[in-house]
Structures are given as structure tokens and as C-alpha cells.
Amino acid sequence: MLDIRGLHAGYGELEALHEVSLRVEPGSIVALLGANGAGKTTCLRAISATVSHVGTIVFEDTLLADRAPEHVARMGIAHVPEGRGTLSELSVWENLALGGYLSRPAQMRERYRRVVEYFPWLDKRKRQPAGTLSGGEQQMLAIARALMMQPKLMLLDEPSLGLGPLFVRDIFDLLRRINRDEGVAMLIAEQNAAMALSLAAHAYVLETGRIAAGGTAAELAADDRVRKSYLGY
């Protein structure tokens, strides 16, 4: 589904990614691991065309060269950014509606019905300002808004960031359900390596902007260097 080769990306003269290559198969979950500053966010932003880059990014046999972010979104790639990206002054429903803004009214209603199956509390609080939600609830709203796009691929940047263990567990359980039930592929950038590896089938480790290791989640979990550097045991 997604094939990245020789990706370089950065900000001005600062290059944050160097020769990064990775793949995401249809319907799979892939973890992108690494310490803070390793380049995980830049990699996701390059895919969604929100940072300058060179290299080859192919999505469903279509080259994403020179595509604007809105074109990438229309192709079925939903980006849930670090820090959730909810619009705090808008209501829960208005945030969700932004995710489905290309839909016809009937499609919007059907997508909302599906989203509420995963997040039942949203329906009861849809008039509530998004900024009054807890951090975990805002993360769930950001994922729900991405689902309103009916995406083929979701890019999730640090979904566990700043959340307590119970919220982290609930969010990863929901991501597992969404992947299983909707067939949505996921590329998850995450510092919580143990949780990400428990969810993903394959994983890559970024280190100072380069791929330092890659393989199945089981292989990386058993790798001594990965365990000591990222899993803490």
C-alpha cells in the first residue's frame, strides 16, 4: 500500500531524515519506533506532504511527488498529529464534521454512526467544546475525526503521549479493533515501544534520522539492542 524509498526530509537547511525506506502492506499495522528527535514525526509529515522532502513515496501505485496535503488526504491518508490537533473552540461534533467535510449528508450520517460504535461517549457529548475534554478524550476525538474520512491508511503520531496507562491501553485496544473491523492500515510513530510492538506486525527503528533496524515485531522485541535501547530491559 505504501512504499517509501530513499526519503530525505527536513526543515530549511536542517535534514531530519536520511535515506529512509519502509513499507506498509494493505491492512497491516507498522510501528515506527525511536527516541524523541529521531525523525518519526518528520517521516509522517513527509508522507502527508506537510514538510519538504525528496525521495520516492508511492501510495497504492500512485507517486505522491508534488502533491498538496489536501490531495494526499483525498487519496485516503488520514494524519493524526502529535498533540492531537483538535480544534479546542469548536464542539466535538464540529471537529468530527471537519473529518467528513467531503462527504454527502447521507455518507456523513453513516460514518458518524460507525464512529460512535467505537466511541459511544462522543454522541452524548457532541455539543461540548473539544477544549474541555481530557487529554485522553481529545486523543480519541482526533482518531475519531480521522475515521470520519473513511481512510485507507492512518498515520498516528505518538498516540500515547502524555496519557495515563489506562487511557493508553484503551486507545491501543481501539486501534486494534479499528484495524481488524475496518481494514485500515496504520503507521504508528511511538516512543512506547513495548505497547507499539504488541500491536504491530512489523516495525522500524529510527535513529538520528536513519533506519537502524527493521523486521517483524517479534524479531525486534527479541533483539537485545532494541530491547535495551527502547524497551528498557
Query: What is the rounded CA–CA span in Å between residue 204 and residue 207?
Result: 10
- CA distances, 213 to each of 21, 27, 82, 216 (Å): 11, 22, 23, 10
Predicted pLDDT of residue 191: 85
Q: Is 73 helix (H, G, I), strand (E, B) or coil?
A: helix
Q: Does the reported pTM lie above 0.75?
A: yes
Query: What is the rounded CA–CA span in Å between residue 147 and residue 182?
Result: 10
Cβ–Cβ < 8 Å for 171, 139: yes
Domain 2-231 has CATH 3.40.50.300: yes
Average pLDDT over residues 167-187: 94
- CA distances, 219 to each of 95, 188, 204 (Å): 39, 18, 11
Please report where in the chains the cell 490531495 appears, as a residue: 71
Average pLDDT value for the chain? 91
Predicted pLDDT of residue 233: 56
The residue ranges of every structural domain in the chain are 2-231
Q: What are phi and psi of 189, to 5 degrees?
A: -85, 125
Predicted pLDDT of residue 232: 61
Predicted pLDDT of residue 66: 77
Is residue 228's pLDDT more than 80? no
Predicted pLDDT of residue 109: 86
Query: What is the rounded CA–CA span in Å between residue 26 and residue 8?
Result: 24
pLDDT tens-place string over residues 140-157: 999 999 999 999 999 999
pLDDT tens-place string over residues 199-217: 999 999 999 999 999 999 9
Query: What is the rounded CA–CA span in Å between residue 81 and residue 87?
Result: 12
Q: What are phi and psi of 92, to 5 degrees?
A: -55, -45
Cβ–Cβ < 8 Å for 143, 182: no
